[in-house]
Amino acid sequence: SAPGGAQEEDLSFRWQCVEQPIGKQLFQRFLEGEPRLAAAGALWAELEAYERCEERERSGAAAAIRGRFFSPGGAQHCPFLSTEATAPPSG
C-alpha cells in the first residue's frame, strides 16, 4: 500500500495488456490493425495456442511457428526479435 492508504496502480505492460482481459483484447486489436505490427499480434496468438496444445502436438506447432515467424522469408517474419529469442531450443 502507498502512504496514506492509497493503493499503487500497476501500470506495467504485463498487467495492463496481458493480465487484464479488456486491456489484452484492446492491445491485440491494436496490433492486428497496424500493418507493421500485425505479425507481432499473430505471433502472440500462435504462442498462446501453443501453450494450450497437447504435449504430442508441441514439436509440430513449434516448427510451424519458427518457419512462419522466426525465419527470414517466413509468411509473417518478425525481424524485431533477437537471435536469442528465435534460436531453436538446445538439448
Distance CA 64, CA 66 (A): 5
Question: What digits encode the pLDDT tens for the residues 40-66?
Answer: 999 999 999 999 999 999 999 999 999
Residue 91 clears pLDDT 80, i.e. is over it: no
Sequence spans of domains, the chain: 11-86
0.75 cut: is pTM over it? yes
CA separation for the pair 37, 79 (Å, rounded): 11
Domain 11-86, classified CATH 3.40.1160.10, yes or no? no
Q: What is the mean pLDDT of residues 13-32?
A: 94
Average pLDDT, the chain: 89
Q: Taking a C-beta distance cutoff of 8 angstroms, is the pair 65, 40 a contact?
A: no
Q: Residue 30 and residue 52: Cα distance in Å, rounded?
A: 23
